[in-house]
Amino acid sequence: RKEVEQDPGPFNVPEGATVAFNCTYSNSASQSFFWYRQDCRKEPKLLMSVYSSGNEDGRFTAQLNRASQYISLLIRDSKLSDSATYLCVVIQPSGGSYIPTFGRGTSLIVHP
Amino acid sequence: EPEVTQTPSHQVTQMGQEVILRCVPISNHLYFYWYRQILGQKVEFLVSFYNNEISEKSEIFDDQFSVERPDGSNFTLKIRSTKLEDSAMYFCASSELRPGYGDTQYFGPGTRLTVL
């Protein structure tokens, strides 16, 4: 199975900053893409799906670049509550089906 | 808002013992999954389940593991003879659509398994 790579960070930013994360994937036949956030010792929670046209949800913007095989997440006006690990999830083909592959996550620390 | 539930929240067992982890997926979801996350490592796919059978499994999901949907609501993961390296957080998830077709998976809070 091909891998999903993320910079583990941590990204240490002040409140109000803009921060961007990238995630690269190596299987060009990957089908769907998501960003999840995970707080310490908690379950992953869906942040947003990622579409080729790009999508925005409040302060969060996600982009997919199929040609270069990466997805990105931009967080504007960072809040203390944004501190978490951000997980990239790629749905990759496997046999006749698709399975989710997680990146290791990028840690974000937002400080006052 | 509907949610995935898991029991127990923490299970401690002796090496070689059998454990059963339980999950109740969201009621109208058709696809169910188990993942594990060893402390400090990434979330790893174990198995997906649809229409009462396994649809996909990873190399981690060997003969020591099995899944079952014993009734209309529960989805279980059994580890037959636990090893020390099975210590991890086990997450159950469910989705309405099949993987690769715009699905969104919703995760339960996890069961922390500690094998002594």
Note the pLDDT tens digit of each residue in B38-72.
Answer: 999 999 999 999 988 998 899 899 999 999 998 87
Chain A residues with CB under 8 Å of a chain B CB are 31-32, 34, 38, 41-46, 49, 87, 91, 93-95, 97-105
Q: How confident is the model at residue B102 (pLDDT cuts 50, 70, 90)?
A: low
Answer whether B33's CB lies under 8 Å from B93's CB: yes
In this structure, what token pair is assigned to residue B17?
């013992």
Cβ-defined contact of B56 to A93 (cutoff 8 Å) = no
Going from the C-alpha of B54 to that of each of A61, A78, B47, B57, the distances in angstroms are: 35, 41, 7, 7
In this structure, what token pair is assigned to residue B26?
């969201």
Give the β-pairing of B5-7 and B53-57: unpaired
Return averaged pLDDT per consecutive 10 residues of chain A, 112 residues in all: 86 97 92 93 92 90 94 97 96 81 96 96
Percent of chain B with pLDDT over 90: 78
